[in-house]
Amino acid sequence: MSNRIEIKCDGEVLMWSKEKGYGFIKTGFGNIYTHISHVEGRQDLSVGQKVTCKVGMSERGQIARDVKINA
């Protein structure tokens, strides 16, 4: 059983590094880090894309998981 608390939210891709596979999503909780391993289909994101994600905590701070691109 996991004690992880995550909050679903909408956001916009603020920055994405295709070479490094990570970036930041602008949300109501601030700018949140994400990694390509947390993006549905492990597809690259583009600046300005609208996404839905779950914001939670990692050992390094806030992180966006379960990132899905809005159609």
Domains of the chain, first to last: 7-69 (2.40.50.140)
State yes or no: pLDDT of 1 exceeds 70. Answer: no
Average pLDDT over residues 55-71: 94
Whether this model's pTM surpasses 0.85: yes
- Predicted pLDDT of residue 26: 98
Question: How many alpha carbons fall within 13 Å on the CB side of residue 16?
Answer: 17
pLDDT digits (tens, 9 = 90+) for 4-55: 789 999 999 999 999 999 999 999 989 999 999 999 999 999 999 999 999 9
Report the C-alpha gap between 62 and 39 in whole angstroms. Answer: 15
pLDDT band at residue 3 under the 50/70/90 scheme: low
Parallel, antiparallel or unpaired: strands 61-69 and 50-58: antiparallel
